[in-house]
Structure 1
Amino acid sequence: MVDREHKDVLAYVEVSDGKPVNVGLELLTCARSIADGAGGKVLAVLIGSGLDAAVKKVAASGVDRVIVVTDPAYTAFRQDEYTSVLERLIRRYEPAVVLTGNTSLSIGLAPRLAARFESGCVADVTSVRRENGRLIWLTTRYCGTVLANEVITNSALQFATVRPGSFSKPETSKTAAPVEKISVAVPADTVRTKIRDTVQKISETVNLEDADVVVAGGRGMGSAENFKLVEKLAALLGGVVGATRPVIEDGWISRAHQVGQSGKIVSPRLYIACGISGATQHVTGMTSSRFIVAINKDEDAPIFEIANVGVVGDVMKVLPVMMEEIRKIKTEA
């Protein structure tokens, strides 16, 4: 055990196809904020095999140390195995806070670990602040319709899952953090899952999460034919097309473009909402956008409450004018 006051933050960085997933990098920003407030360090943990590129990326993301648990046996994610590995790391490094991403794979790690350490766990964290020495976690409830401030009491160790898109990715550091490669043996009898085969679904690739510009359309576009205006504006701006759930259900565009609670969580520099009223299910997925432009003929549409710029008007008349002005600016430039 390390003889010191618990101040450090241990952040598990999930890796997919040899690269850190977006929230794996985003939670490092959250970890840095917490650690700096307590005078602690950020310890980033990666588990698996073939991690060289991911380790290099994380080491240059403003962390204090990268801990790599690599072994050919860790070729695929298994809850039991990864939980046991993290448990051993927590006992060794004694952090004050442990963070994981709120993804389909990592979401189960934090609550399992919290149970083993008889501690508390908060889920789907969107922000965190420190008041009177205590961490106040802002979390979402009921598909994002309710926000709650949560405090973990009676425990020196806290666990949290971080909502994708809630924090920005850290700036690339000029100095790489030291990397520590260790071996962690997990007793075979603790692993209850056996992966027999992995099938990769081939589908349309839409990189909404990494897009700087997202142009999204809702049912207010009127028809699949009209929705093509959204696609044209996105192409003009070099952006990616997003859509609300009703648009997906109506078959105007593939599900890969869905933004919202049951779709992708995005945080682009610019988000243009076309004919979108602002239902909570959709807003939950894009509220972290840096600048939001909303176009809707209903001046009372909820989307205007979060928009930086709101245009009240017929989207079918506004978009052509907008695109013409953008073309003029690009030509003059």
Structure 2
Amino acid sequence: MTILIVAEHDNTTLRPATLNTAAAAAAIAAFTNQPIHILIAGYNAHTAAETAAKMAGVGKVLLADAPQLAEGLAENIEATVLSIARNYTHILAPATAFGKNIAPRIAAKLDVAQVSDVSAVDGADTFARPIYAGNVIALVQSLDPVKVITVRATAFDAVAVEGGCASIEKLEAAPDARISEFVKRDVTKADRPELTSADVVVSGGRGLGSGENYAKVLEPLADKLNAAMGASRAAVDAGYVPNDYQVGQTGKIVAPQLYIAVGISGAIQHLAGMKDSKVIVAINKDPEAPIFSVADFGLVQDLFSAVPELVNEIS
């Protein structure tokens, strides 16, 4: 039996979370000594398949190439996965919007319990996952014959996209389920790195006071550091920035090399989304702010003077 990864991609490139999911698959394979296959379900997705074939640890790439798979509709990808699901002991997908849309359908159709948001692998059937906003780590054992798993990408280092030489095998796509229809996709275009995969993230909170201040204070810092920009839920709810900037339990989970929190008090829901960052810098005028409990470096100062000073010091 074998491990299957359902890849997230745009028909040309693999999404970074797929590489992290492959690391989780490799951790399972270390216990089971099973080969790893990766499914590329899309349309005109040969380039993505060729990239997947170069991934470290991948033994075979299955390419299901059909028009009904072009936009990643969950109903069609699920049917394609189900056609081969019984050949696998583990089916993994990233715990992104893509994976969270597809994996529960696969688990339900297989009549198995999904193991969600896995952050560590303790055995072939035992996995760790955060609960209570990351304050508790639950150890979950699954005895199902097929284990459907979503992987918290920030918990695993991405595998290399080089050195592999997997074969590419064509897989017949399931017919169009015709129960959903792709209408359009509104994509936020930005010159900055993607929030979930950036090495540096600069986030702002309610302490900035307005959307104008958010842009005026934080953008120069983000420009200097080539950073992605994020925000707390309070800043999003106040209308400072769009909700796709939100970092936290109900937003995006990030773990960059450097996370700079500006004017963020540090509610537990926000900490759940960023406390795995390698280095955390907090700037807040309140010395009792909870953000300082997870910060590696803290500056108790008014952000409106501290951030411009910091920008001036960065060459």
What is the TM-score of this pair, normalised by structure 2? 0.87
Tell me which amino acid in the other structure corresponds to 1:66.
V
Matched, 1:78 2:73: yes
TM superposition shift of 1:148: 4.2
Whether 2:261 is the aligned partner of 1:266: answer no
Specify the alignment match of 1:313 in structure 2.
301
Q: In structure 2, which of residues 35, 38, 42 is the aligned counterpart of residue 44 of structure 1?
A: 38
Cα 1:12–1:324 change in 2 (3 A) is same
CA RMSD of aligned residues (A): 2.5
Is 1:136 aligned with 2:127? yes
| Amino acid paired to 1:210 | S
Q: Which residue of 1 aligns with 2:157?
A: 168
SS of the aligned residue for 2:198 comes to coil
Note if contact 1:219-1:244 (Cα within 8 Å) is conserved in structure 2: yes
Offset, 1:308:
2.1
Aligned letter for 1:262?
Answer: T
Deviations 1:175-222 (A, max 9, x none): 332222222444x7xx25142x52232544362123221111111234
Deviation, 1:234, is: 1.0
Return the index of the structure with the highest Cα Rg: 1
3-state DSSP class of the match of 1:159?
Answer: strand
Output the CA distance in 2 between the equivalents of 1:248 and 1:50. Answer: 37
What pairs with 1:201-216 in structure 2 (closer than 5 Å)? Answer: 201=186, 203-205=188-190, 207-216=194-203
| Cα distance between partner residues in 1 of 2:74 and 2:219 | 40
Q: Give the deviation of 1:244 after TM superposition.
A: 1.4
Aligned partner (choices 179, 200, 215) of residue 193 of structure 1: 179
Q: Note the C-alpha offset of 1:145.
A: 5.7
Match of 2:85 in 1: 90
Note if 1:33 corresponds to 2:20: no
4+ residue stretches of structure 1 with deviation over 6 A? none
Question: Residues of 2 paired with 1:178 and 1:120: CA distance?
Answer: 31
Q: Deviations over 1:92-119 (max 9, x none)?
A: xx32211112333432433333334333
> Which ranges in structure 2 are unaligned for 5 or more consecutive residues?
none
Number of residue pairs matched by the alignment: 311
Aligned to 2:10: 16
Query: Match of 1:218?
Result: 205
TM (normalized to structure 1)?
Answer: 0.83
After TM superposition, give the deviation of residue 239 of structure 1 in Å: 1.4
- Write out per-residue CA displacement over residues 56-102 of structure 1, whole angstroms, 9 at most, x where no aligned residue: 222222122211112234333333332222122222xx322111123
- 12 and 224 in structure 1: CA distance in 2 versus 1, 3 angstrom threshold: closer
